[in-house]
Amino acid sequence: MAPRARMRTKLVKNSAYFSRYQVKYKRRRSGKTDYYARKRLITQAKNKYNAPKYRLVVRFTNKDIICQIVKSEIVGDKVFCAAYSHELKRFGVSHGLTNWAAAYCTGLLLARRALKKLEIDEAFTGVEEADGEYKLTESAEVDGETRRPFKCFLDVGLTRTSTGARVFGAMKGASDGGLHIPHSEKRFPGYDIESKELDAETLRKYIFGGHVAEYMETLADDDEERYKSQFSGYLDDEIEADGLEELYSEAHSQIRADPWKKAEEEEGKEKKTKEEWKAESKKYRQKTLTYEERQEKVQKKIKALAKDE
């Protein structure tokens, strides 16, 4: 005898339903925050006092990469340090600001800025020459005492965490920059599931934009017109496929030398005062008209239309 089908009861939206209805958090309703993950990322051990958990927040837009070190407080999240891929132009990287190599550079820039801010950048240098090997930052001697590295946890938000994803490029850059970010090598490009080993050479290739260089060479051979269209920016700046590794290597060196480096056009400029910024914003703010002014505007339009006829 076939099992009886389970009857579905109709949801009755009466006063009892509405009086008990609990609204979800705003950012959950808009699909922006995974609160299940957030709760576990920010909850600190109860026997620790004033020791927040820091998160390495990595987000991607269409034209930019945002990397921030954030701590959570009752009043809201507070950003300790931040770096953006559009800032890489100061270090010689002007194109491909959302690719894997740019993500690595942005993570490295964030790490060096954070450690310089804490004045421990000389003690925790990280991996000075990227080789693609899996390595975690360890304790170091500072003024005759053993000091642990700055620790933070990767916050990917709602990004899909596929093997080789760019978000892990930013994490690798921050880790090589001297931050301690607990992770394994399983999600880096070059990790083989069957042998359970990481191919360091493949990872190194991604760090220095080797995958982009390969694509440039392939496209130049197969479809020169499309190559000129897609890589027009590179060609205008005379950047060839075989020059990418040197470009990124130089950017890494410059980031380590001065992570707070300013663009040439920013140097020597005076900061605007509050009053100047207010005046600037008023330029583009539309003035609210009174009833009389609106009526006058309408009459002018009517007269202008009557003239045209």
Question: pLDDT digits over 38-49, tens only?
Answer: 999 999 888 988
pLDDT in tens, 171-193: 999 999 999 999 999 999 999 99
pLDDT at 153: 97
CATH of span 30-43+50-261: 3.30.420.100
**pLDDT confidence of residue 265:** 66
Here the tokens at position 279 are 């005046």
DSSP-based three-state secondary structure for 44: coil
CA distance 309 to 295: 21
- What is the structure's pLDDT at 271? 82
Contact call for residues 168 and 236 (beta carbons, < 8 A): no
Global model pTM greater than 0.95: no
Burial of 220 (0-12, 13-18, 19+ CB in 10 A): middle
Q: Which tens digits make up the pLDDT trace of 57-90?
A: 999 999 999 999 999 999 999 999 999 999 999 9
Helix axes 210-222, 244-257, angle to 10 degrees: 150
What is the mean pLDDT of the segment spanning 206-227?
A: 94
pLDDT at 295: 96
Nearest-CA neighbor of 40 among 155, 150, 136, 151? 155
Q: Within a 10 A sphere around the Cβ of 230, how many other Cβ atoms?
A: 14
Q: One-letter amino acid identity for 309?
A: E
Per-domain residue ranges of the chain = 30-43+50-261
Q: pLDDT value at position 267? A: 67
